[in-house]
Amino acid sequence: MLIHLFRHGIAIDRTDPECPAEEQRHLTDKGVRRTKMGARGLARMGVTAQLILSSPFTRAQQTAEIAKKALKLKGVEIRETNALLWDADPGSLRAELAGLTDVEEVLCAGHAPHLDLFVAHMVGTPMPVTELKKAGFATLSTDFSDPGDAVLQALYSPRALRELGDGW
């Protein structure tokens, strides 16, 4: 399985007087623009998915919707999962993904530090080996045969994705 990880874009600052509850924090206008440009970079690289999993938080859902549109995944379901929350156990996401026996490629929209901890869990390192920035991206491949068997196949900074998507 290919597991694409897309961290949510820039969200409204927690100190902003207009900031809603944590679950409803949304992407800023700048966050939407940059996430769209990054998602266009994903499209240019040929990223696809048969399913999109998203944290139930608004900013991750918005990121999933932006990716779905940029990747032209019209019939693809976006499914919410608590396994993508920022404080979730990485093993719970592994278990959920391992149960998707009919899916070969999945895109996950989530948060830091969870996505970096998930990468570490999947490749078998005790500490994170990545640091996904907002609207950053990584791809893992695994057959779920053994814990720590995944291979980190791609790691893109938000800037690299935006440059790839520039002009699209």
Task: Return the half-sphere exposure (C-beta side, CA atoms, 13 A cut-off) of residue 155.
Answer: 10
Tokens linked to 136: 């950053």
* Total-model pTM: 0.97
Q: Which residue has the tokens 């820039």?
A: 10
Mean pLDDT across the chain, nearest whole number? 96
* pLDDT recorded at residue 147: 84
CA–CA distance, 132 with 8 (Å, rounded to integer): 10
* pLDDT recorded at residue 168: 58
Q: Which residue has the tokens 């623009």?
A: 33
How far out from the chain centre does Cα 37 lie?
Answer: 15
Secondary-structure breakdown of the chain: helix, strand, coil percentages, each rounded to the nearest 5: 40, 20, 45
* pLDDT recorded at residue 123: 97
Pair 68, 52: CB distance under 8 Å: yes
* pLDDT recorded at residue 24: 98
Q: What is the mean pLDDT of residues 119-131?
A: 97
Q: What is the mean pLDDT of residues 89-97?
A: 97
- Higher-scoring residue by pLDDT: 147, 112: 112
Band (167; pLDDT cuts 50, 70, 90)? low
Tokens linked to 39: 């998602």
Question: Is residue 73 predicted with pLDDT exceeding 70?
Answer: yes
* pLDDT recorded at residue 166: 84
pLDDT in tens, 24-50: 999 999 999 999 999 999 999 999 999
Domains and CATH numbers, the chain: 2-165 (3.40.50.1240)
- Higher-scoring residue by pLDDT: 89, 146: 89
pLDDT in tens, 132-141: 999 999 999 9
CA–CA distance, 85 with 4 (Å, rounded to integer): 16
* pLDDT recorded at residue 12: 98
